[in-house]
Structure 1
C-alpha cells in the first residue's frame, strides 16, 4: 500500500466521528444528539479563539481541539456514567498509537503527539495550547447544553454547572459567563433586528 492509501484509510476511519453521537446527551433525553465530529469542530474554533486571547499559539490549540476525540472511532464516546464501570482505562494516546501505526511515520508521530498534548492538560504539566484546547472542550459542552436547553430539553443545568469548575483560563471563564448570559439564538435575532 502507498502512503496515500494509508492516509485515505485513516481519514475514512476519522469520518466515523461524523456518525458517532455524543452519548452523554442520550441520558439527558436528547433524541438526536450532536456527533463527535460536530463537537470537535467547535472545540477547534473555541480553542483558537481562547489561544489568541491568552497569548498561546492559536493554530496549535485549534489543531489539538480538532484531533482530541479521534480515538473515539475505536472506543466510542463513553459517557461519564459508563466510565465508572470500565475495569481497564485505555489512554487515548495508546488508542491513537494503534490507529496511526500504518501511516507515514512523521504523520503518525504528529497525530499521537496532538492527542497526548491535549490529554496532558488534565495534569499540571501541560502546554498553554493544551489548556486552551481543554477549556474549549469543556466550554463546547456548556454551549451545547445551553442550545439544547433553549430547544426545550430539560436537565441541562447539571451539564452546565459541572463544566464551570473545569474551565481555568481567564478567557475561558469570561466566555463561560457570557455563554450563560447570552441566549444561543442572539446572534441571528440581532441580525434580524438590523
Structure 2
C-alpha cells in the first residue's frame, strides 16, 4: 500500500465526523444536531481568531481546533452525562495513535501531537495555542446553543452557563460575553437595516 493510499484511508475515516452527530444536543431535544465535523470547523475558525488576539500562533491554534475531535471517529461523541458512566481508560491521543499507525511516520506524529496538545489544555502543562483551541471548543458550544435557542429549542441555558468557568483567555471571555449579548441572526439582519 502506498503512502497516498494510507492517507486516503485516514481521510475516509475522518469523513465519518461529517455524519457523527454531537450527542449532547440530543438530550436537549435537538432533533437534527450539528455534526462533529461542523463543530470542529468552527472551533478552528474561533481558535484562529482567539490566537491572533492573544498573540499566540493562529495557524497552530486553528489546526489544533480542526483536529481535536478526530479520535471521535472511533469512540463516538460521548456527552457529559455519558462520561459519568463510561470508564474510558484510553486517552484521545492514544486513539489518535491507533488511527494513524499506518500513515507515513512524520504525518502520523503530527496528528498525534495535535490531539495531545489540545488535550493538554485541560491540565496546567499547555501551550498558548492549546489554551486558545480549548477556549474555542467551549465558545463554539455556546454559540451553537444560542443558535438552537433562537430556533425555539429550549433547555439551552444549562449549556450556555456551563461554559463560563471553562474559558480562560481574555479574548475568550470577551467573545463569550458578546455571544450572550448578540443574537445569532444579527450578522444577516444588519443587511436589512442598511
TM bracket, shorter-chain basis: over 0.9
Partner of 2:44: 44
CA distance in 2, matches of 1:20, 1:108: 23
Q: Does 1:154 align with 2:154?
A: yes
Partner of 1:53: 53
RMSD between aligned alpha carbons?
0.5
TM-superposed CA distance for 1:192, in Å, is 1.8
Instruction: Return structure 1 stretches of 4+ with deviation > 3 angstroms.
Output: none
CA distance in 1, matches of 2:34, 2:73: 15
Partner of 1:103: 103
Structure 2 unaligned runs (5+)?
Answer: none
Partner of 1:119: 119
TM-superposed CA distance for 1:87, in Å, is 2.3
DSSP-derived class of the 2:140 partner: helix
CA distance in 2, matches of 1:180, 1:90: 35
How many residues align? The count is 194
Partner of 2:131: 131
CA distance in 1, matches of 2:72, 2:192: 39
CA distance in 1, matches of 2:112, 2:187: 37
CA distance in 2, matches of 1:51, 1:96: 24
CA distance in 2, matches of 1:26, 1:90: 25
Q: Deviations over 1:121-151 (max 9, x none)?
A: 0000100000000000000000000000000
CA distance in 2, matches of 1:76, 1:191: 39
Partner of 1:70: 70
Structure 1 unaligned runs (5+)?
Answer: none
Q: Does 1:23 align with 2:7?
A: no
